[in-house]
């Protein structure tokens, strides 16, 4: 598959879950891929194993630090002199129970906002300014159905709010810069088969009960999300810009 040959894609949070599958799918489709990670370099390396070495680049950054996020973009540009697509996938999942201490509550919200909103948007700002200067580019944001319907776990209010913020910011950019060639897409997965989802699900009763509430009776395979990213990363679906793609197996329908 070579439909993305010649295109360079930066994927944040490449060391686990959806990010890992996305990197593999993009690389298989012929793209040059920058696989971002924070602490898990081994996971990022595993994500690119099997892809041609000349088409992969690992880049570390702590997205909780906006300056590090900005530097990540410039690191990505230096690699090949261009980036065509940014996939904002990395996220933190910190619980903030109502009965937590003030210190724990504040820390959870601060971490979630920093990693899921402030960092990605600092990175996005660099990307959009670059895309506008060269006549266009693709921005893909990984939101969540929790941004639309709220989380089933009330302790994840910060996570839901952060995913809604990322969605709204991405759609705002889509409207503002459509005439300049900026294509923006939001993906809103339901429950995806990732380690993060498994941990969160275990805290609200476990998988059997969750499956019973799903229309298809199964979690979303991360490879299906990755395939959607490949489809959108081509930059050829111009009039889908601004759209939110719900991937929940018909469980959440708007």
Q: What mean pLDDT is reported for the chain?
A: 93
**What is the DSSP secondary-structure string of 161-180?**
HHHHHHHHHHHHHHHHHGGG
3-state secondary structure of 225: helix
**Phi and psi at residue 9, in whole multiples of 5°?**
-125, 130
Q: pLDDT > 70: what percent of the chain?
A: 91
* pLDDT category of residue 201 using cuts at 50, 70 and 90: low
Q: Are 174 and 184 in contact (CB under 8 A)?
A: yes
The answer to which of 36-40, 122-126, 134-138, 249-253 has the lowest mean pLDDT is 249-253
**Closest to 137 (Cα-Cα) out of 84, 96, 177, 97:** 84
Tokens read off for 170: 């991405």
What does the pLDDT look like over 47-72, one tens digit per residue? 999 999 999 999 999 999 999 999 99
Q: How far apart are CA 60 and CA 58, in angstroms?
A: 7
Q: How far apart are CA 120 and CA 158, in angstroms?
A: 16
Based on the number of CB atoms within 10 Å of its own CB, is 70 exposed (0-12), middle (13-18) or buried (19 or more)? middle
Stretch 219-247: mean pLDDT, rounded?
95
Q: Are 87 and 9 in contact (CB under 8 A)?
A: yes
What does the pLDDT look like over 162-186, one tens digit per residue? 999 999 999 999 999 999 999 999 9
Stretch 199-205: mean pLDDT, rounded?
58
Q: pLDDT > 90: what percent of the chain?
A: 83
**What is the DSSP secondary-structure string of 84-147?**
-EEEE---------TTS-HHHHHHHHHHHHIIIIIHHHHHHHHHHHHHHHTT-EEEEEE--THH
Beta-carbon-side half-sphere exposure of residue 242 (alpha carbons within 13 Å): 10
Q: Is the pLDDT of residue 131 over 80?
A: yes
């Amino acid at each position: 598959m070579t439909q993305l040959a010649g295109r360079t894609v930066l994927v944040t949070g490449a060391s686990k879950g959806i990010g890992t599958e996305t990197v593999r799918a993009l690389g298989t489709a012929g793209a040059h891929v920058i696989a971002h990670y924070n602490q898990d370099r081994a996971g990022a390396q595993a994500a690119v194993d099997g892809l041609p070495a000349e088409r992969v680049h690992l880049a570390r950054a702590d997205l909780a630090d906006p300056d590090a996020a900005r530097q990540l973009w410039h690191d990505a540009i230096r690699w090949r002199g261009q980036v065509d697509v940014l996939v904002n996938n990395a996220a933190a999942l910190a619980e903030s129970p109502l009965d937590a201490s003030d210190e724990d509550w504040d820390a959870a919200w601060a971490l979630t906002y920093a990693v899921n909103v402030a960092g990605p948007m600092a990175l996005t700002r660099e990307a959009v300014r670059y895309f506008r200067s060269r006549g266009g580019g693709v921005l893909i944001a990984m939101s969540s159905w929790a941004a639309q319907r709220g989380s089933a776990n009330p302790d994840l209010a910060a996570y839901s709010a952060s995913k809604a913020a990322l969605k709204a910011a991405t759609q705002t950019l889509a409207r503002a810069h459509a005439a300049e060639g900026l294509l923006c897409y939001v993906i809103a997965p339901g429950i995806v088969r990732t380690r993060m989802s498994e941990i969160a699900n275990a805290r609200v009763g476990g998988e059997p009960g969750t499956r019973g509430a799903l229309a298809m009776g199964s979690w979303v395979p991360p490879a299906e999300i990755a395939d959607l990213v490949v489809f959108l990363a081509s930059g050829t679906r111009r009039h889908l810009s601004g759209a939110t793609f719900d991937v929940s197996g018909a469980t959440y329908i708007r």
